[in-house]
Structure formats: C-alpha cells, structure tokens
Amino acid sequence: MEKLEHKFLKEYNYELGAVDKGYTNRTLYINVGTHEIKEKPVTSLMKDKFIGGKGFGLYYLWQAVTESTKWDDPENEIIISSGPIGGITQYPGSGKSLVVTLSPLTNMPIDSNAGGYFGPFLKFAGFDALELQGKAEKDVLIFIDGTKGTITIEEMPGGGVDTHILGEQLTEKYADNEEDKRNIAVISTGTAAEHTNIGLLNFTFYDVRRKGIRLKQAGRGGIGTVFRDKHIKALVIKCAGVKGDLNHPVDKLTLNKTGIKLHKEMHDLDNSQNQMRKIGTANIISIMDQYDLLPTHNYKFGAHKDTFKISPEVFISKVTQNSPDGCWHGCSMACAKAADHFELKTGPYKGQKVTIDGPEYENAAGLGSNCGIFDPDVILELNFYCDTYGIDTISYATLTAFVMECYENGILNKERTGGLELNFGNIEANFELIHQMAKGEGFGKIAGLGIRKMKEIFAKEYGADPQFLFDIGMEQKGLEFSEYLPKESLAQQGGYGLTNKGPQHDEAWLIFMDMVNNQIPTFEDKAEALHYYPMFRTWFGLNGLCKLPWNDIAPADNKLTDEPAKIPEHVQNYVDIFNAVTGKTIDKFELIRQSERVYNFQRIFNIRMGFGKRIHDKLPYRAMGPVTVEEYQSREERYDQQLKELLGYDTTGKTTEEKIKVLREYREDQYEKLTDAVYKRRGWTMDGVPTVEKLRELGMDLPELLEVVEKHR
Amino acid sequence: MIKLNNRDCEWHEGLTVEELLRLKNYTYPRIVVSVNAVIVPEEAYASTVIEDGDKVEAIHLMAGG
Ligand code: SF4
C-alpha cells in the first residue's frame, strides 16, 4: 500500500469532556486556511430553537456568510453535526450525520445526511458540531483523536483521492491494529468532485466481518465539490469504546424499552413488509414500475418492459444476504446492503474486485431505467464509480438522462459530445461520461456542471429552445430531481417543488396517499400533508436520525389506527426517545414546532441568498405532465379521459398538440392553486415568505430573520 | 358503478375483491381493503363479492422515499 506522507501544520489539544443529555455543549471550529482551531459553547438559544444536526448547521452557516457569499468563497462553511439523539445504540437508525453548506448547484444552503460513524464519533470525541471554514493552500487532512483530545491539520499533497482507496489507507494508517479499525471513521470524496458541481461526501465505517471499509454518502447538492474546493482531502476521527449510554440520557429504561419494541417489530414483520433487511430500499423497483412511477427515459414514462431485469429479486441475488448491515450500531433494519467481490469491467480500477455499497432504489432507478439501462451489473458498476469518484448518483443519473434526451433530440450530437453517442441505453457512452468527469475532460466536464448550467450552455451555444430545455430539464432551484415520477400526483409535485433545498423527496413522499389512495383529495388536504410531512421529516435531521425505521416498518396493527400513514406508534416512540435522552417533555405537537422553527429559518436563509420565493418553487413541466407528443400518446387514454372528466373537453378531432396545451394549462393552474394552499398552511405570504406573525408564533422572531422578511413583504 | 377510493369505478355482476385488485393492477403486497367500511382479510379476497354501489377502499400502506 502506498505510503502516505503528512506534514503537520497545526496541533491543538482539548479536554475530552463528556456528553450530557445528548449534548456535549461545545462545538469545534477549524479554519483550514488560517489553521485557526477553537471551541465554541452551545448556547441555550441553539438548543431551544435549532435542536442540533441540520439546525446547528444552518445556524452556523447563517453567521459565516453574507447575502453575497458564493459557494467557493473561503467564508463558506461545511458544517457536520449529529443531533441530541444521534449516537444512541438502543433505537434503530440513530447514527446519521447532517451536513450543511452553500451549494454550488443552488447557491443557497443545502443539507444532506449520511450514515457511517463520523457524526456519533464527533459527539463522543467532544463536539456537537464541526465547522470547517477557509481554503487551504495545499491539500490537507484533519485528524480528530477523540481518545487523546488532539486535533491536527496535516498537509497531504499528492496521492489519490478516490474514496475506496483513500478511505482504506487512512483507516489503516490511523488505527493501531485490526481491532482498532472499528474506531476510525473517515470523510472524503473523490476525483470527480474536483471537476464537477455534483461532488458528494463519503462517510466510512469499518465493517469488521468484511474486514474493509463501507461507504455511506451525503450525496445531494455538491458538498464534495465544496470540500475539494477547500482543498480538504479527508477528515479522520478516532473514537473508542462506543456503548449504549455515552449520550448520558436521563431515562435509559425508556430508551431500552422503546428500542426493544422496534427490534421485535423488525424481526417479526420485515419479511412480510418491505424486506429492508434483504434488499434495502431497492425493494420498490418493481412496484414503482407497476404503478407507472418508475422514471424512465428522463421521466418521460413510468414503466418499461425490461424492468424485470433490474427487479429487487435480481439485486437480492447480487447482494450479500444474512448479514447484519447496519450503518450505525443497533440498527436492526440493517439496510446498508452490499455486493461483494464485484469485478470491475471499466475505468482505472478495471479488474479490481470490490465491495459495492447499495444499490439503493435511487441508484437503480436513476442509473438504470431513467437512462434506459436495464443491466444490473452496469448499474452496480456505475454506482461504484459514482461513490469512489465522489459524485452524487442522483444528480449524475438525472443529468445523464437529460443529456440523453438532448442527444436524441439533436440538441447534442457526436461533434458536441466529443464522440459520445449518448442515446438512452448506451452503456459504453455512459461509462465514458463518468470517467471523463473524474478526469475533468471532454463532455464530462460540461455535464458535471449540472442541468441548470447545461441548459444555459445548450441554449447559448447550440441555439436550443430554452422553453423546451426548461420543460425537460429535471432540476429545480438548481438541484436535480430524485427518482420518482410525480406527473400523476399533484401532492408529490408539491413534495418536490415546495421544498427548501430543491426536488429531493426526503421532505415529502405522498404519491400513494394522493394518486392511488386518494386520501388527500382537496387542496387543503394536500396542503395539510405538505405541512405535516416536511415538518415531521425535518425533525430526523435535527436529531441525527434515519428516516427509514419510521415508516419502512410498521406495527402489525398500524392499519387500524386513525392515520396509518403517520405510523402513530412510531411518532410516539420518537417523542419518548427525545425526552428520554434530553430530559425535556415535548409532545408530538411540539415535535412539529421544533421542525417548523428550523424549516422557516431555512426558507428565510434562502430568501436572504436571493432565492426561496414563489418564482423559485416553479417546476419543469416534465414533472407535471406530458411535454412531448410521444409522451402524451403513450398514455393517451388516460390523458384524454382526464380532459373529458375534469374539464369537459371534447377530444374528438383534436390534435395531440392541442390536447397537450389544454392539459398543460389545467395542470399548471392546479399547481398554482396548490402552492397558494400550502403557503397559507405554512403561514407564508402568497410570495412564499414566512410572515412576521408566523415567526412570532414560533418564537423565531429573531432580529436577523425579521430584517429579511420585512424587506420581502 | 362502485366507488373505489372515493372515485367512480366500473362494476360487473360477481366482481370479487381479488378480481378488482387484479383489474386495477394493484400489485403492492400491503394493501388494506375494506368494503363499506368493513375490512376484508386477505384470505377472503377471492370469496368477497362486491355489490353495485358499494364503497371500496384499497389503501396502499406504501411508505416510499
Ligand atoms: S435503516 Fe439503513 S440507512 Fe437507516 S440507519 Fe439503519 S442501516 Fe443505516
């Protein structure tokens, strides 16, 4: 193994301290440009109003930047924080790290979460959050030794940055022996993060059975790009002796009881429910296809005749079974699956046998059907390269699907792509594209800028119709859509469009409730759902929690409850574990208010940065309905029927173009009405700005927030 | 005509829950079916006949995303 040379730039010693009721009450600030390292106290305002995790990230970022700061300015920060519940081992899904920065794709705050051990280790090493600011001259590595209380900034020039190698090397270097490797967690990215706007961060954990590192990603929004722009090569943390009570919770008994209850559910019911332990999130590929929701050919269609080739059963046969793959201790959902001994067929690592983390549903749908690829091994290999090169699989997939549609429409051609024949389904061209991104060469460099920038370039340089590009380019606020087809669910259009960070489904996933179950028929019903679910889901990010154990498993009698979609028993579990750790006495209503405070803060942050208003919540029409004749005609019966039933429009003798136009006016109008209803429910003006009254009601009438909303009233 | 999830839905004599789910391509394994507010257990899908005018709900307990 290559020897890693490091030159020490700064060493800092600190008192180790202990966690009390979920908090260390201290955060760590590191400036990689000036080498300043300092500790900051966690104030009661931070705990009361921002809770932790993404709340702390946004709080610090607000103070670090001004309205004119750009993502690549030294003052931009990357903040990593777990949250008060983060690190407990009793309740499944409690090891997430939340990462916040100004995004190169959206130019406003992005938040993304990752599994792996870094977040909990950071807390047990003594800090509720880590702020990284500045820009190093040469590549640096930061090592936090939570066993000794030392922090070093080390120069680390040369050598590769691709995670599957670097993560392994650093785990080896900083562990005293094999046994000690489980105490090391690394954050790094890869070579493509240096040349694209879609860089991600990989968070490692050491898999003692496989004797190798595993990777979990903070994928969305280009955080890895910021990381490399700061010339940070890696963060390494060491923390020994993880055990159940390190958070010093006030009520360990309740934690134990609540955890055991969920473990039992998982054990008894997972096989008959979602089979998360067998295949993880990829369990829904076929279902999505059968309900016409699987994005296919750049979201034109929702199903494909070849989906069976990438069905969950196919992936089950590829990923290692009967392995407790939790990405933090105590997660009995264990969905962090992996395909082992996979021999790579392309690229610089061709011939190597590797472990591939995943595939998760998003990867299979995005890298697969959305790009017209139905070969599971190709999906796995693309997944591997996205991870090790440090790029977000979702953005990569969605932008490749966009490029493919542009290619098939003549907006791009071989000359413009440097010889890449980027038709849907072209596997070779797809691999070449990703390898080009890693080298910062050719068309890969342009594609890596993201859909928003490509739209500008294609209109300007190639004379493409900007309206068509807007219609088919599946991005909003600069972020590429995640992999669900929202055309037939108005509520899910809102779930994508009326979000803070852009169209990532982690705020709300309402497709079945809306489209199939018809449980939220009116605008008010949908608005209520688009209030409740985004707030509820935001809460996971404040506390260092994973969303999956909330609703990817449900108690046997859940269906008999008043609101099965909320999984009421699990909501109560979260209230109970929050109170058990922190000693507070929240109820399920205060839980929502905790999120509302941070959610509104983030909205105002966006507005402060020049975004986050109604105009920014507009969607590309591809998300709402058929853009092209081909799309309309593929579902003609459905659309004709809707025109007749909903609008009383007589379709006889009408051309497809005429019908598309009428349907489009109707659907766009529906989205506007939904937007009105949602803004009203959230306590915002019709321009999408939180009102002063709403801020007062939440206790978020902080002077800096009032200043922004007053300006935009 | 019956109501399925509060939307109009074609009906024919002898329509069973099992057939309705098949016709609608409702393949998801975790669906809770009720006919006129009475839950129908999965074992009874094939033998439960839906009458004209019935109110059927087929709620997919789909977590997703
Ligand atoms: S459910 Fe999966 S992603 Fe979430 S914490 Fe557990 S193993 Fe990790």
Give distance in angstroms: CA of A258 to centre of ligand 1: 17
Better pLDDT: B65 or A526: A526
Residue A3 has pLDDT above 60, yes or no: no
Residue A461 Cα distances to A90, A456, A468, A475, B28, angstroms: 56, 8, 15, 20, 47
Q: How many CA atoms lie less than 13 Å away from A486 in the CB half-sphere?
A: 28
Would B65 be classed as within a structural domain?
no
Residue A17 contacts residue A10 (beta carbons within 8 Å): no
Nearest to B60 by CA among A465, A210, A515: A515
Q: Where are the domains of chain A?
A: 7-238, 267-480, 490-711
CB pairs under 8 A between A and B: 56
Nearest to A122 by CA among A544, A627, A644: A544
Share of chain A above pLDDT 90, in %: 90
ipTM, two decimals, is 0.95
Would B11 be classed as within a structural domain?
yes
State residue A560's pLDDT score: 84
Q: Which amino acid is at A517?
A: N
- Residue A1 — pLDDT band, cuts 50, 70, 90? very low
CA torsion angle B41 B43 B49 B54 (round to 10):
20
pLDDT digits (tens, 9 = 90+) for A585-621: 999 999 999 999 999 999 999 999 999 999 999 999 9
A113-129 average pLDDT score = 97
**What's the DSSP call for residue A49?**
I
pLDDT digits (tens, 9 = 90+) for A215-257: 999 999 999 999 999 999 999 999 999 988 999 999 999 999 9
Q: CATH number of the domain that B37 lies in?
A: 3.10.20.30
**What's the DSSP call for residue A686?**
T
pLDDT digits (tens, 9 = 90+) for A338-364: 999 999 999 999 999 999 987 889 999
Residue A687 has pLDDT above 80, yes or no: yes
Give distance in angstroms: CA of A568 to centre of ligand 1: 20
Assign 3-state DSSP to chain A and report helix, strand, coil percentages, each to 5: 45, 15, 40
B23 chain-A contacts, CB cut-off 8 A: none
What is the nearest CA distance from A4 to chain B, expressed in angstroms?
40
Partner-chain contact A509 B60, CB within 8 Å: no
Q: With respect to CATH, is domain A490-711 assigned 1.10.357.10?
A: no
Question: Going by C-beta distance under 8 Å and a sequence separation of 6 or more, which residues neighbour residue A448?
Answer: A192, A195, A196, A197, A198, A391, A437
State residue A323's pLDDT score: 78
Partner-chain contact A516 B7, CB within 8 Å: no
List helix spans (H) across A242-392.
252-269, 276-279, 285-290, 312-318, 361-363, 376-389
**What's the DSSP call for residue A214?**
E
Q: Domains in chain B: how many in total?
A: 1
- Residue B65 — pLDDT band, cuts 50, 70, 90? low
Interatomic CA distance for residues A603 and A592, integer angstroms: 16
Establish if B30 touches chain A: CB-CB under 8 angstroms: yes
Residue A287 has its nearest CB partner, among B5, B6, B27, at: B27
Separation of first and last alpha carbons in chain B: 34
Cα angle: A547, vertex A552, A554; to 5 degrees: 115
Residue A469 has pLDDT above 70, yes or no: yes
A183-191 average pLDDT score = 98
List helix spans (H) across A500-628.
511, 523-543, 548-551, 568-582, 588-608
Number of residues that make up chain B: 65
Name the residue range of residue B29's domain: 2-60
Give distance in angstroms: CA of A207 to centre of ligand 1: 14
Residue A81 contacts residue A543 (beta carbons within 8 Å): no
Orientation angle between helical segments A568-582 and A588-608, nearest 10 degrees: 80
Would B6 be classed as within a structural domain?
yes
Residue B4 Cα distances to A215, A519, B49, angstroms: 44, 12, 14
> Could you give the 3-state DSSP secondary structure of residue A233?
strand
Nearest to A90 by CA among A217, A261, A229, A274: A261
Residue A324 has pLDDT above 80, yes or no: no
Partner-chain contact A509 B65, CB within 8 Å: yes
Task: Count the neighbouring beta carbons within 10 Å of the beta carbon of residue A463.
Answer: 9
**CATH code of domain A267-480:** 1.10.569.10
Return the CATH architecture of domain A7-238. Answer: 4-Layer Sandwich (3.60)
pTM of the full structure: 0.97
**Which residues on neighbouring strands pair with residue A187, listed in sequence order?**
A203, A235
The DSSP bridge pattern shows strands A140-145 and A150-155 to be: antiparallel
A104-122 average pLDDT score = 97
Better pLDDT: A160 or A92: A92
Establish if B7 touches chain A: CB-CB under 8 angstroms: yes
Average pLDDT of chain A, as a whole number: 96
